[in-house]
Amino acid sequence: MVGILGLFYGLRLKTEIISPGKISTSSPEPSANQPLAEATPTLIPTPTPIPLPDPKVYGPCREVPVLMYHHVQPASAAAEKNQKNVSMNNEVFAQQMAYLAQRGYTTITPDELLSLLVTGSHPVKRVVLTFDDGYADFYTYAYPELVKYGFRGTVFMATGLVGGADYLTWSQISEIAGSGLITFADHTWSHKTMGNASEETAKYEIGTAKTQLEEHGLGPVTSFAYPYGTPSKIAEGVLVDLGIKTAFTTIPGNYQCAKLPYSMRRTRIGNSPLSSYGL
């Protein structure tokens, strides 16, 4: 496990110097600019291959894409709010959901993902849709598209930010939860990085968010996403103690393993068709 963690920290250092939206090794976005990229110096480092966990040690392992979204809104709103790097166009998002429906994908929850890994079943066309931070635009633009197709989604909430400018309100969250389609999960209380957090801080941050979600009738909270994608052994221990069964990183890729439930990989989705992300 130490080796795996070392790998995560190495990745974190690497991802921090890459602009969001271009982290995934399978990111198709640069392709449109390929001729330019060859002629112009680029600050994007060549992605190094990421070694996959050994299924004999960590398996069963399966290819299950977990898609990561942040803001979903019109490009004009993203530009106005300086959120272009963590935003995707709502019309493209709608096209992506239509594509998943046409291709016969089944959307699943983090609990269902863990269950299929543990049982070693071989489902095809399963996908997990995740939305980080709990932005208000989820209610306006993403949620209606999920409802349209009866898709499951998971929103990782920094509960201390609820009701703030640009964030969901508890009333909207309650309405969304009423659909039965959306899982609200833990993303700490104040969107605190766990990378260097003490056990006391991790307990407070993760525990407070879990308690607040459950007090609003959104429990049981069984899943977590690391703010800024930075995992830690200390935080993992806290997650185990709190009964949280899965944790999601920003390590790119679809390869998920039953014995690495606190290191789920995710694909950061931008404004390209999902087919270009391997779906």
- Residue 60 makes CB contacts below 8 A (sequence gap 6+) with 117, 118, 119, 120, 257, 258
Peptide bond into 60 cis (omega under 30): yes
- Residue 36 makes CB contacts below 8 A (sequence gap 6+) with none
Q: What part of residues 188-227 is at the interface with Zn ion (CB under 5 A)? A: 227
The residue with its CB nearest to Zn ion is 132
Q: Cα(69)–Cα(129) distance, rounded to whole angstroms?
A: 8
Q: What part of residues 40-99 is at the interface with Zn ion (CB under 5 A)? A: none
User: 161: which 2 tokens?
Assistant: 């930010």
CB nearer to Zn ion: give 133 or 205. Answer: 133
Least CB distance from residue 189 to Zn ion, whole Å? 12
Least CB distance from residue 132 to Zn ion, whole Å? 4
CB nearer to Zn ion: give 130 or 172. Answer: 130
CB nearer to Zn ion: give 188 or 254. Answer: 188
Least CB distance from residue 121 to Zn ion, whole Å? 30
Dmax (CA) of the chain: 56
Helix (H) or strand (E) holding 99: helix 90-102
CB nearer to Zn ion: give 100 or 194. Answer: 194
Q: What part of residues 224-243 is at the interface with Zn ion (CB under 5 A)? A: 227
Least CB distance from residue 203 to Zn ion, whole Å? 19
Q: Is 186 in the site for Zn ion (CB under 5 A)?
A: no
Instruction: HSE, CB side, 13 Å, CA atoms: give it for residue 76.
Output: 0
Q: Cα(226)–Cα(236) distance, rounded to whole angstroms?
A: 10
CB nearer to Zn ion: give 227 or 253. Answer: 227
- Residue 178 makes CB contacts below 8 A (sequence gap 6+) with none
CB nearer to Zn ion: give 191 or 245. Answer: 191
Number of residues that bind Zn ion (CB under 5 A): 3
CB nearer to Zn ion: give 58 or 141. Answer: 141
- The pattern of x and - marking residues 112 through 141 that bind Zn ion according to CB under 5 A reads --------------------xx--------
Least CB distance from residue 124 to Zn ion, whole Å? 30
Q: For 181-232, where are the alpha helices, taking DSSP H only?
A: 199-215
Q: Cα(88)–Cα(43) distance, rounded to whole angstroms?
A: 22
Least CB distance from residue 98 to Zn ion, whole Å? 26
Least CB distance from residue 275 to Zn ion, whole Å? 27
User: 82: which 2 tokens?
Assistant: 């300086």
Q: Which residues bind Zn ion (CB under 5 A)?
A: 132-133, 227
